[in-house]
Amino acid sequence: MKLVRTISQVRTAVRAARKAGKTVGLVPTMGAFHKGHLSLIRSAAKEKDFAVVSVFVNPTQFGPSEDYDKYPRDLDRDADLAAKEGADLLFAPSVEEMYPGEPSTTVTERVLARRLEGQLRPGHFDGVCTVCCKLFCIVLPDAAYFGQKDFQQTRVVTRMTRDLNLPLEIRVCPTVREEDGLAMSSRNAYLSPKDRLSARCLWKALTTAQKAFERGVRDGEKLRQGMRKVILAEPGAEVDYVSIAHPDTLVELRRIDRAAVGLLAVQVGATRLIDNVLLQDATSDNGR
């Protein structure tokens, strides 16, 4: 695996791979790898001939009071892990390489990005869309790999890709979890041992909704209330939002027709965590 820092090095390496007839996969990340990231890299390496992984803590997707400065960074470790999973190229640009000077162009997805995370983190998805669009243009992959863990992000990026006719497929891979159900996240590293125990309430709330759905509950508000109750019972945790939404439009559902997604954002101590679960009939083909 080769580690490169500049856009022109990426273009040269990808051009050579293309010339050799290879397909190209891209895994965009902010680094501090855990098993969730590694599963995306594994999928890209398995499905494509040339797997590119980017590691870039993108400042434009962090709000002014968010954790950009303290976000965990360990490129040597990430490079080792990516190589072991079969990555061919690791692209770790500087902020100056990605944003030379103040940019005057931003990519905005105007509908899905306004909901949920977008309400609480204004500008966040503009940062995500812009950096993903730039990475897609730099690497020109056949497919880019994203985790279901960031469900709204997968929807926003898919919509942007379609609206802009970007010639790649967006692949969504399942959420990788700790043994007790907590979704793996680079931000879990911030949790104190006490917070780590409290953080179990996210998966507990989502599985509560899942079980109720399996019992036949289709009332969105009932499911939301059930989730909220689980979080409220956890003294170390505070609800940012609880949602039972349509999986494509992210509109809150009063009644679930075929499928829904349960989403939540919870403040655990000083750490903000998000997670989600798809609710769909076993017989429905993904409900869509």
To the nearest whole angstrom, how small is the minimum distance from the Cβ of residue 200 to ligand AMP?
Answer: 15
- Residue with the two structure tokens 């190209």: 24
Residues acting as catalytic residues: 37
Closest distance of CB 158 from ligand AMP, Å: 12
Minimum distance from residue 61 beta carbon to ligand AMP (Å): 9
Q: How far is the CB of 148 from ligand AMP (least distance, A)?
A: 6
Of the two residues 173 and 268, which places its CB atom closer to ligand AMP in the complex? 173
Residue number, 158 or 175, with CB nearest to ligand AMP:
175
For residues 113 and 157, the answer to whether their CB atoms sit within 8 Å is no
> Which CB, 30 or 237, lies closer to ligand AMP?
30
Residue 227: partners with Cβ closer than 8 Å, 6 or more residues away:
205, 206, 208, 209, 242, 244, 262, 264
Binding site for ligand AMP (CB under 6 A): 29-30, 36-37, 39-40, 146-147, 149-150, 173, 175-176, 183-186
d(CA 40, CA 29): 10
C-beta of 148 vs 198, nearer to ligand AMP: 148
N-terminal to C-terminal alpha carbon distance within the chain: 39
Host H or E run for residue 263: strand 259-268
Alpha-carbon separation of residue 267 from 2, 222, 234, 235 (angstroms): 38, 22, 11, 11
Is 242 in contact with 201 (CB distance < 8 Å)?
Answer: no
